[in-house]
Structure 1
């Protein structure tokens, strides 16, 4: 259980990244600079989990935090490790909810690791990045991992749509966009009907596909991370106001987009007043099973 007091927070950011370990200095150059250039922020800042927790605590927000394990494509272990993210999140449980990431190519070893992360470290979900992990979400290779997630009633979060990873570099850094079509996740939603799924990001160029999956499959949600709201396509705003008003979630993709920038632009788009608190906090609180304090509601 987390120690999040819903009465004390204004929002739940369901999509933040931890890029630095507390045990090592920040890396020089590399993907961080490429990503920063793509998002127009210069060199991308990199936070340890305690720094991330402090950032969100100062803003009276909670967040889901994770790294991304892409060892099959990079040959490198994830830094920080899933264990570090989970252990430090436990120390900052008033604002941080830990997710883990396991590259499906790890096979049986990855499944064993996932079970340990759930039972010994209390992770609440798993992040998949099909582009950087090089797999289609409906590839049966990943199904043993989904079985662990479904068995424990956790959340599977999938990157969908175009990615800033490798963007603008030679050959896109070897990243293949085909893996992030949300229609692949539709198969997962059929085969694991009781597993909660988040389609991360406005899913350019497959926004209509994402909306179709989320309206058709009752346990599929959409997070709004990775894009400034001023660039949201009209149909996403329309569905967020109507059919998906209870299934759309605030996410920033921090640190490439800050919650301040995201919320400033969100305030300027045509979201109904009664829907805004659902997107900012209430929908995520319900999905995560967070309970308000006695006498308090989840919203404002």
Structure 2
């Protein structure tokens, strides 16, 4: 397609720049949902930290927030990998402290240690995988800490799940108004309900990982909940951020809305932490 054709089918100057140069140079990208390191049972060629940083440079990703696979599934390794990555690459890699409620021993000690690592911006929960509901009592100290400090909380969400459906997010968001709840994947199967909650509750946000690929979904989220409630996330290294970026750029929304999703919302959320 020639340049004229691009302008006719998509008025976005950012999309035009992406097609002509291969990346966004005028707007840096922030990825709010990433992992790193090997994952059992599959091969992820871009999972190593060095490879991820190289991909970030290629795509003009300014910084990411990550929860390594080791923290998600290895209670012994815990969060050591993200602590090391944050120390090595400050302002490029921020971290979610990952908590598995099935291994709750030591949470109080780890929360006391949280402030020693300035790259931490919140928490990551994986209820469907850990088989523990978002509203379970083991998570109460974590929620209270996050609420006291105005932190982010990225949780895996899935429609009609007994562990992390949109309804549980709504209950927690009302109980803990200072936590910014990021609905990981935006609850596939109940995306409409997730969008309703983001529009209704000031501390609930939609996150695009996996759902960005659904035709019309980005535009639907923006029209119903505004672009200020939608966050760019890729699940990198599972998804190539190039693909996710294209899904947003060619969704038919305005450039100011694209900029909110790709950059401005993330900056604002980090600036609000602790206030």
| TM-score band w.r.t. shorter chain | 0.7 to 0.9
Q: Contact (CA 8 Å) 1:104, 1:145: kept in 2 or not?
A: no
Partners of 1:70 and 1:15 in 2: CA distance: 13
Per the normalisation by structure 1, the TM-score is 0.73
| Partners of 2:76 and 2:250 in 1: CA distance | 37
Write the distance in 1 (CA, Å) between the matches of 2:232 and 2:76: 26
Structure 1 138/244 Cα, relative in aligned 2: closer, same or farther at 3 Å?
Answer: farther
Give the direction of change, closer, same or farther, for the CA distance of 1:128–1:232 in structure 2 (3 Å limit): farther
Corresponding residue of 1:92: 89
Aligned to 1:251: 233
- The Cα offsets for residues 249-288 of structure 1, whole Å up to 9 and x where unpaired, read as 1111111111111112322222222211000100111011
Mapped pair 1:19 → 2:37 = yes
Tell me what 1:231 maps to.
214
Match status 1:121 vs 2:105: no
The offset of 1:50, in angstroms, is: 4.0
1:287 is the counterpart of 2:269? yes
Q: Could you report, residue by residue, the CA deviation over 1:94-145 in whole angstroms, capped at 9, with x for unpaired residues? A: 32111120112333522321331x2222311111011111111112221111
Q: Which runs of 5+ in 1 are unaligned?
A: 1-6, 21-26, 34-42, 163-175, 291-300
Residue matched to 2:140: 143
Partner of 2:106, secondary structure, is helix
For residue 172 of structure 1, what is the aligned residue in structure 2?
Answer: none
- Which residue of structure 2 aligns with residue 195 of structure 1? 179
* SS of structure 2 residue aligned to 1:120: coil
1:211 to 195, 204, 210: 195
Give the helix-richer structure, 1 or 2: 2
Indicate the residue corresponding to 1:270 in structure 2. 252
Question: What value does the CA root-mean-square deviation take over the aligned residues?
Answer: 2.5
SS at match of 1:205: coil
Aligned CA distance change for structure 1 residues 108 and 152 (closer, same or farther; 3 Å): farther
Q: 1:215 to 1:109 in 2, by over 3 A?
A: same
Structure 2 residue runs without a partner (length 5+): 1-24
Which shows bigger deviation, 56-65 or 190-199? 56-65
- For these two proteins, the number of residue pairs brought into alignment is 245
Q: Distance in 2 between matches of 1:58 and 1:179?
A: 37
Q: C-alpha distance in 2, partners of 1:230/1:134?
A: 27
TM-score if structure 2 supplies the norm length? 0.80
Deviation of 1:193 after TM superposition, in Å, equals 1.0
Aligned equivalents of 2:100 and 2:249: distance in 1?
Answer: 36
Distance 1:140 1:232, change over 3 A: farther
**1:126 touches 1:155 (CA, 8 Å); kept in 2?**
yes
Task: Work out the CA distance in 2 between the residues paired with 1:17 and 1:135.
Answer: 21
How far apart in 2 are the matches of 1:17 and 1:262? 15
Secondary structure in structure 2 of the residue aligned to 1:240:
helix
Deviations 1:19-52 (A, max 9, x none): 24xxxxxx7xx43x2xxxxxxxxx4335233442
Match of 1:3 in 2: none
CA distance in 1, matches of 2:148, 2:105: 16
Quick one: which of 75, 78, 83 aligns to 1:77?
75
